[in-house]
Amino acid sequence: MEIVKTDIAIIGAGGAGLRAAIALAEADPKLRIALISKVYPMRSHTCAAEGGAAGVIKSDDSMALHFGDTVGGGDWLSDQDAVEYFIQEAPKELTQLEHWGCPWSREPDGSVAVRPFGGMKIKRTWFAADKSGFHILHTLFQTSLKYPSIQRFDEYYATDLLVEDGRCQGLTALEIRSGQMKQFQAKAVIIAAGGGGKMFPFTTNGNIKTGDGMALAYRAGTPLKDMEFVQYHPTGLPNNGILLTEGCRGEGGVLFNKDGRRYLQDYGMGPETPIGQPVLKTMELGPRDRLSQAFWGEQKKGNTVSTPWGDCVLLDMRHLGEKKIDERLPLVRDLCISYLGKDPVKEPIPIRPVVHYMMGGIHTDTRAATRLPGLFAAGECACVSINGANRLGSNSLTELLVFGKRAALSAIEHIQSGLPDGKGAALAAQAQASEARISALMNKSNGTETIAGLRKEMMDTMETNVGIYRTGSELATACDKISELRQRYANIALHDKTHVYNTDLMQALELGSMLDCAEAVTVGARDRKESRGAHQRLDFTERDDVNLLKHTLTHYHPTDPPRVEYLDVVITQSQPGVRDYSGAKK
C-alpha cells in the first residue's frame, strides 16, 4: 500500500476543510498539508448554502447581542465559552474572506451589506446575493490554489483513522479513481467532512452528506455529541427538498396557511407584522425550530394546503416585486421556476419543512480538539457546541471559518508539542486491516441485503419516528430498527466488482456511516426526555434544565447500541431563560 507522509491531514475540503488548509499554509509554509476529499473541493455541499454568514460589523450591532441571539436560539444548550470565541472571531473571518475576494453584496457606499435572518435581533448576516455558501466555497478553494504546500487528494474516500499510542496518526483512504487504498501518515488529523442529513429521505442535503466524518471519529473511539438535534428548515420545495433560503423571509416573504392566515401568530410569534415590513425575531423571522413546529401544528389542525407532494403551507414573496427578487433572491426564483414550475414573482410557493442541518457531531472543545489527541474537527461534522439545540441560520457558514481556522492552529500546537515518531509497523498493520475490510466488502458475493433496500428502510425509520415531534415509543422503535439494520448491514451484497470509480462501494461505505450516525441520533433522542430546541417530544413537552441542561455524548460500540454519557453545558453569562420571538409586541 502506498504511504503518503504528511504533517497534517485534513479530511474534507468544504468550507471548514479549506479554511483549515489555508490557515495551516499561512501559519507555516514548510508544513506538509494533505487535503483529502471524496469530491473535488468545489463540489462540497457548502456550495448549496444560500442565505449568508453572521458576524457583527455594523455600528447598531454588538457582540453581546449576537451572543444573546445565538445562546437563546440554541435554547441554552450552547457552550457559552465557545459562543464567546465564535462571535469575537466572526467579523474577522468574514472580513478575511472579503480580502480574499469574496463577492459580498454591498451598500451603495461600498461597505458590505447585511440582511436580517431568523432569530437574529439585528441585521448581521453578510450575504452574496442568495449564493453565499457558493461564493464562500469558491473563494476559499481558489485562494487555496495560492499555496503550494496544500497537496490535494481529490476524490479520495477516507475509510479509517489510524490510532496508535493513544493518538491519531493518520488515516486510510480509497483513491476512488483507481480503487487503490492509500495510507496517510500524519502527526495530526482534522476532520471537516460535513453533516449527515442524507440519513433522512427528505432533505436539503446533497448526496455526499452521509456523516462519514462523524462515523470515522466515532468508530475511532471519540464520542459524538448532541446528535439528537436535527434541524428542519421550514421552507423546502415540497417535491425534492430543495431549500428556499431564509433570506426569502429576511427580505420580507410571509407564510400563509390554506385560509390565507399568517398562522405564525397562533404559535407565540405574533402579533402579525404588516406585509412587506418584517420585524426582527418576530413572525416569519422566528427561529427555524419554532417555524417548523408551527407547520406541524397547522398540519394537525388541517390548515395546510394539500399538493401532489404532501401537505404544504404557502410562502408569498409577490409583494417584494420582480426587481428586488431578481437582485436579492435570483437563485430562489430560478429554483422555483425550474424545479416546481412556479414563479415567486407571480404566485405563492408551496413549501414544507425539510431536514437541513445537524447541530450535533464530533465532540470538540473550544480549541476544536476531540478527546482523541491529534484529532481535531470543525464544520458541520463537529459539535463545539455553539449551535446548542437549534442553530440560527447563518451561524454555520461563519462557524466553518472560525473553527476551521481554530482547528488548524490547535493542530499546529499539537505537532509542535514534541511528538515521538509514529510506529510505522503498527500503523501499517492498521492500514492493512482497513484495506482488508474494504476488499472483503467488495469481494463478498453471498450477501442478501441490498444497499438501496437497507438505505430505504433507514430513511423511512428516521422520517416516521425521528421527525419534528417525537415520542418515546416511536423512538424506541427507531432504536430497535436502526440497530437491526446495523446487524443486517454485515450481510450486504455488492454487485460492482470494478476497482475504477466504484460508486456501489462508495454507497455501501456511506450507508455504514449513516447507520452509525443514525443510531447515535435515535439513542440520544430516546434518552433525552425533555423538549428543547429542535428536539421536541410529545411525551415530555417541557425543557428540563434541572436534569438535562447537558450535552449527550454517545460512545460507539461495534455491535451493540452506543453508551450514553452526559456532560454539563458551559455557562458563562446567560442563565437559561424564555425564548421570546414576539418582538413586535414591544
Which positions are catalytic? 233, 249
Nearer to other proteins, 365 or 496 (CB): 496
* Separation of alpha carbons 571 and 149, rounded Å: 40
* Separation of alpha carbons 283 and 287, rounded Å: 9
Interacting partner of 213 out of ligand FAD, other proteins, none (Cβ under 5 to 8 A depending on kind): ligand FAD
Q: Rule CB under 8 A: say whether 42 interacts with other proteins.
A: yes
Nearer to ligand FAD, 285 or 549 (CB): 285
Task: Find the shortest distance in angstroms from Cβ 314 to other proteins.
Answer: 19
Task: Find the shortest distance in angstroms from Cβ 392 to ligand FAD.
Answer: 8
* Separation of alpha carbons 508 and 432, rounded Å: 19
Give the bridge partners for 354, in sequence order: 233
Count the neighbouring beta carbons within 10 Å of the beta carbon of residue 472.
15
Task: Find the shortest distance in angstroms from Cβ 530 to ligand FAD.
Answer: 25
445-456: buried (b, 16+ CB within 10 Å) or exposed (e) per residue?
eebebebeebbe
Q: Contacting ligand FAD (CB under 6 A), which of 7, 84, 89, 212?
A: 212
Q: Which stretch binds other proteins (CB under 8 A): 97-105, 264-272, 513-521, 530-538?
A: 97-105
Contact yes or no for 103/135 (Cβ under 8 A): yes
Q: Contacting other proteins (CB under 8 A), which of 5, 81, 88, 242?
A: 242
Interacting partner of 473 out of other proteins, ligand FAD, none (Cβ under 5 to 8 A depending on kind): none
304 Cβ neighbours under 8 A, 6+ residues apart = 257, 258, 295, 298, 311, 312, 313
Q: Rule CB under 8 A: say whether 503 interacts with other proteins.
A: yes
Nearer to ligand FAD, 8 or 584 (CB): 8
Task: Find the shortest distance in angstroms from Cβ 88 to other proteins.
Answer: 13
105-134: buried (b, 16+ CB within 10 Å) or exposed (e) per residue?
beeeeeebbbbbbbbbbbbbbbbbbbbbbb
Contact yes or no for 293/304 (Cβ under 8 A): no
Nearer to ligand FAD, 69 or 380 (CB): 380
* Separation of alpha carbons 301 and 311, rounded Å: 12
- How many chain residues touch other proteins (CB under 8 A)? 63
Residue with cell 481529490: 154
* Separation of alpha carbons 540 and 16, rounded Å: 36
The sign one gets for the Cα dihedral 382, 386, 392, 397 is negative
Q: Rule CB under 6 A: say whether 38 interacts with ligand FAD.
A: yes
Binders of ligand FAD in range 430-489 (CB under 6 A): none
Binders of ligand FAD in range 8-27 (CB under 6 A): 11-17
* Separation of alpha carbons 321 and 262, rounded Å: 20
Interacting partner of 383 out of ligand FAD, other proteins, none (Cβ under 5 to 8 A depending on kind): none
Binders of ligand FAD in range 116-155 (CB under 6 A): 132-133
Binders of other proteins in range 162-221 (CB under 8 A): 177-178, 206-208
Interacting partner of 395 out of ligand FAD, other proteins, none (Cβ under 5 to 8 A depending on kind): ligand FAD
Task: Find the shortest distance in angstroms from Cβ 287 to other proteins.
Answer: 24
Q: Please give the grid coordinates belonging to residue 491.
A: 450481510
Task: Find the shortest distance in angstroms from Cβ 495 to other proteins.
Answer: 5
* DSSP state, residue 225: E
Q: Rule CB under 8 A: say whether 323 interacts with other proteins.
A: no
Q: Rule CB under 8 A: say whether 440 interacts with other proteins.
A: no
Query: In the stretch 102-141, what mask flags binding to other proteins with x, by CB under 8 A?
Result: -xxxxxxxxxx------------------x--xx--x---
Query: In 165-303, where do the E strands start and end?
Result: 167-175, 180-185, 188-191, 224-225, 230-236, 254-256
Give the nearest residue (CB) to ligand FAD. 14
- Is the N-terminal amide bond of 385 cis, ω within 30° of 0? yes
Task: Find the shortest distance in angstroms from Cβ 311 to other proteins.
Answer: 15
Taking alpha carbons only, the member of 454, 442, 429, 513 closest to residue 197 is 513
* Separation of alpha carbons 83 and 80, rounded Å: 5
CA angle, residues 26, 29, 34, in degrees to nearest 5: 90
Q: Rule CB under 6 A: say whether 234 interacts with ligand FAD.
A: no
* Separation of alpha carbons 123 and 36, rounded Å: 36
H runs (alpha helix) in 346-450: 395-416, 424-443
Residue with cell 404532501: 310
For residue 355, with 0-12 CB atoms within 10 Å meaning exposed, 13-18 middle and 19 or more buried, which class applies? buried
Give the bridge partners for 377, in sequence order: 191
Q: Contacting other proteins (CB under 8 A), which of 5, 28, 32, 100?
A: 100
Q: Contacting ligand FAD (CB under 6 A), which of 55, 250, 253, 393?
A: 393
Q: Rule CB under 8 A: say whether 40 interacts with other proteins.
A: yes
Q: Rule CB under 8 A: say whether 99 interacts with other proteins.
A: yes
Instruction: Write out 44-57 in H/E/C secondary structure.
Output: CHHHHCCCCEECCC
Q: Rule CB under 8 A: say whether 43 interacts with other proteins.
A: yes
Q: Which stretch binds other proteins (CB under 8 A): 27-35, 36-44, 250-258, 391-399?
A: 36-44
Q: Contacting other proteins (CB under 8 A), which of 59, 277, 338, 448?
A: 338
User: Cα 276 from chain centroid?
Assistant: 31
Nearer to other proteins, 242 or 426 (CB): 242
Q: Which stretch binds other proteins (CB under 8 A): 64-72, 114-122, 370-378, 495-503?
A: 495-503
Residue with cell 411525551: 539
* Separation of alpha carbons 429 and 397, rounded Å: 38
Three-class DSSP category at 113: coil
State which H helix or E strand residue 451 sits in.
helix 451-465
Q: Rule CB under 8 A: say whether 502 interacts with other proteins.
A: yes
Q: Rule CB under 6 A: say whether 102 interacts with ligand FAD.
A: no
Query: In the stretch 187-206, what mask flags binding to ligand FAD with x, by CB under 6 A?
Result: -----xxxx--------xx-
Residues at the interface with other proteins (CB under 8 A) = 39-40, 42-45, 47-48, 92, 95-96, 98-101, 103-112, 131, 134-135, 138, 142-143, 145-146, 154, 177-178, 206-208, 239-240, 242-243, 308, 331, 335, 338-339, 341, 450-452, 494-496, 498-504, 507
Which residue ranges make up the site for ligand FAD (CB under 6 A)?
11-17, 36-39, 41, 44-46, 48-53, 132-133, 156-158, 192-195, 204-205, 208-209, 212-213, 243, 245, 356-357, 379-381, 393-397, 400
